[in-house]
Structure 1
Amino acid sequence: MSERNPPIEFAFPDLRKWEKGAAPYIHVFESGMAGPTVMVAALTHGNEVSGAVVVDALLERGLRPRRGTLILSFNNIEAYHSFDPRTPFKSRMIDEDFNRTWGRLDQPATTVETRRAQVVRPFVERADFLLDLHSMHDDGVPLMLAGPLDKGVALARKVGAPVDIIRDAGHAAGMRMRDYGAFGDPGSPKNALLIETGQHWRASSVTVAKDVTARFLLETGAVEPADLPGDWKQPSPAQQRVVEVTHAIATKRGNFASARRFEGQEIIAKAGTILGHDDDEPVTTPYDNCVLVMPSSNRPLRPGVTVVRLGRLV
């Protein structure tokens, strides 16, 4: 396999059997007991399949909540069904990024993704707790994106994995689902997390997705340990750390040239270190011990795309 197309280490589930639900590819289960509405969403991007493996497995298992309501969703299902292993990165989306549409859902839905977001939206609005299952273009350690608020970091700590919690405000290109509505309101108890499980098609990304989903469902009280497969939950890390994102570096015209190959969560010791040049303008670290969060500088970029987020340990 070329570096451009990493190996696919697990089988993709056939999801067409889950089309019929409360809405297409969205399933709602009521316990009849008082409790929160808990939502687990997969395929916000169509080629991020580890989450789909997990939600498919929960549906196959017939998982039902002990209290409250459980919502299981496959978000950008059309993009998933467009997957071609010869061009595996193309199926991230059809027309646009589903996870940048949430700030403009009051506008006419003119793309596959905005139409689908309108279908998913009432379920997201109903949820008290949301876990959005993602994965990464490049190999990297798993990251829990907790959003900009204290409540997101607190929930990530309760879930207890992975090691790295990222406190971040999202993307200039548009609002994410995890920041939508009450999730982005510091005064609301509603809360959301976004897990980046690792490289899209690594078997290890499925292991991470299973672990974090099990932890999330247990923490929210939706299920009890016996309800879940016994091998999903992994040993807890000795401790977690929080990285607060202070800068999101976007390429103006897609002409960013990286100074070298960077790894995710790499710590750059000295302020002023050159990370690369964007249209010949140097991009440097703003402070000592700067953490590089999910660098995408190692691949071709479109104008406006975030090259890297810079953060500090807090």
Structure 2
Amino acid sequence: MSAQTNNHAYPIEVEFPDISVHRHAASGIDYLHTFDSGLPGPHVMINALTHGNEVCGAIVVDELLRRELRPRRGRLTLGFANVAAYLSFDPAKPDAARFVDQDFNRVWTDTVLDDTSRTSSELTRARAMRPLIDTVDALLDLHSMHEKSAPLIVAGPLQKGIDLAARLGTPATVICDEGHPEGRRMRDYEGFGRESSPKNALLIECGQHWEKSAVSVARDTTARFLLLAGVVDEADLPEGWLAPLPPTQHIVRVTQPVVATSMDFRFAAPFTGLEIFPDAGTVIGWSNGEAVTTPYDNCMLVMPSLRQLRPGVTVVRLGKVEQTRSNLS
């Protein structure tokens, strides 16, 4: 089966799990399952389905729930976020299942969540999840990408996020950024987004939405995150989830987003992400008939896509490689 998208038809290489069996949870919040070891340790959360068509995280969380993984120390939450969007998935319109009313990953500020005059399917779900999210110390948010691109870590703008990504060791590209003009992501919510807070979060873009390799990346990064947090031992994890570390990690600082001001935007080539342009002034696309160019030498394109094109949406982010670190030391 292939999913029909605006630009490409990507094959659906994975089965979408039936997560309805996970609806009722002792946490009192549907689809959020928290297990307490009774011993000291952090509260760690593995989150799937921030976007409803990003299935690799759902596969991993479903597997861990069915295997009855329990923490040896601290607390562990395994959860599915935008379930309503996931349940709406249609292979003929796969991009539509990203959200129901608005992007779930653009609502995470107290101001937005406290404003009861604003309503949407996503806000209702975020407000339901919020009391639990407020207790999480370490969040791993599993995502995937519109286009077939190498996996990457979104570490946020703070040094603590970069340091956590380096300790995780994989994927090979670490993106440091301020987020999106449209609104704040869950990984930047409250303590996750304050350098002074001990809380921390990473977002993993595991690959193209429906490719098998994205599931492998989600399994590997989840296993490593749980081990790094100390809530489980390696013997507790499913066999074969850990993969070899990449030899190096590239730390890339996003300097600016390219935001569509209308529906008149096109790229100069079928970019999929992580392309590097050696010369400043290289044309990468056109917006309202005017050239969009790279602002500096060795500019990297981060997650270019027109699948959600509309005014105000970021169509690509531009980044500089700040550091390359070795995993072999």
TM bracket, shorter-chain basis: over 0.9
- 5 Å matches for 1:77-116? 77-103=83-109, 104-108=112-116, 109-116=118-125
**Partner residue in 2 for 1:245:** 254
Is residue 2:135 matched to residue 1:126?
Answer: yes
Query: How far 1:4 moved relative to its partner?
Result: 3.5
Amino acid at match of 1:52: A
Q: Aligned partners of 1:151, 1:180: CA distance in 2, in Å? A: 14
Is residue 2:33 matched to residue 1:27?
Answer: yes
Amino acid at match of 2:56: S
- 1:222-254 residue CA offsets vs partner (Å, 9 max, x unmatched): 110000012001001111110000010101012
**Partner residue in 1 for 2:184:** 175
Is residue 2:274 matched to residue 1:265?
Answer: yes
Q: Aligned partners of 1:259, 1:136: CA distance in 2, in Å? A: 20
Query: How far 1:259 moved relative to its partner?
Result: 1.5
**Partner residue in 2 for 1:283:** 292
Q: Aligned partners of 1:232, 1:254: CA distance in 2, in Å? A: 42
Runs (5+) with no aligned partner, structure 2 = 323-329
Q: Is the 8 A contact 1:142 1:197 kept in 2?
A: yes
Amino acid at match of 1:161: T
Runs (5+) with no aligned partner, structure 1 = none
Is residue 2:327 matched to residue 1:313?
Answer: no
Is residue 2:20 matched to residue 1:16?
Answer: yes
Q: Aligned partners of 1:136, 1:272: CA distance in 2, in Å? A: 27
Is residue 2:308 matched to residue 1:304?
Answer: no
Which of 28, 40, 43 is the equivalent residue of 1:37?
A: 43
Q: Is the 8 A contact 1:293 1:309 kept in 2?
A: yes
The farther-off stretch of 278-287 and 134-143 is 278-287
Q: Is the 8 A contact 1:251 1:304 kept in 2?
A: yes
Is residue 2:204 matched to residue 1:195?
Answer: yes
- 1:7-43 residue CA offsets vs partner (Å, 9 max, x unmatched): 1101111000000111100001000000000001000
- Give the CA RMSD over aligned residues: 1.1
Q: Aligned partners of 2:309, 2:191: CA distance in 1, in Å? A: 32
Q: Aligned partners of 1:133, 1:260: CA distance in 2, in Å? A: 28
Q: Aligned partners of 2:114, 2:289: CA distance in 1, in Å? A: 39
Amino acid at match of 1:208: V
Q: Aligned partners of 1:219, 1:255: CA distance in 2, in Å? A: 45
- 5 Å matches for 1:56-67? 56-67=62-73
Amino acid at match of 1:11: E
2:284 aligned counterpart, secondary structure:
strand
The farther-off stretch of 193-202 and 120-129 is 120-129
Structure-2-length-normalised TM-score? 0.93
Q: Aligned partners of 1:136, 1:150: CA distance in 2, in Å? A: 24
Q: Aligned partners of 2:168, 2:191: CA distance in 1, in Å? A: 20
**Partner residue in 1 for 2:233:** 224
Q: Aligned partners of 1:207, 1:239: CA distance in 2, in Å? A: 19
Q: Aligned partners of 2:219, 2:292: CA distance in 1, in Å? A: 37
Amino acid at match of 2:78: L
Q: Aligned partners of 1:62, 1:69: CA distance in 2, in Å? A: 14
Query: How far 1:300 moved relative to its partner?
Result: 6.6
| Runs of 4+ with deviation above 2 angstroms | 1-5
Percent of aligned pairs sharing the same letter: 54
Amino acid at match of 1:86: A
Structure-1-length-normalised TM-score? 0.98
Count residues in correspondence. 313
2:131 aligned counterpart, secondary structure:
helix
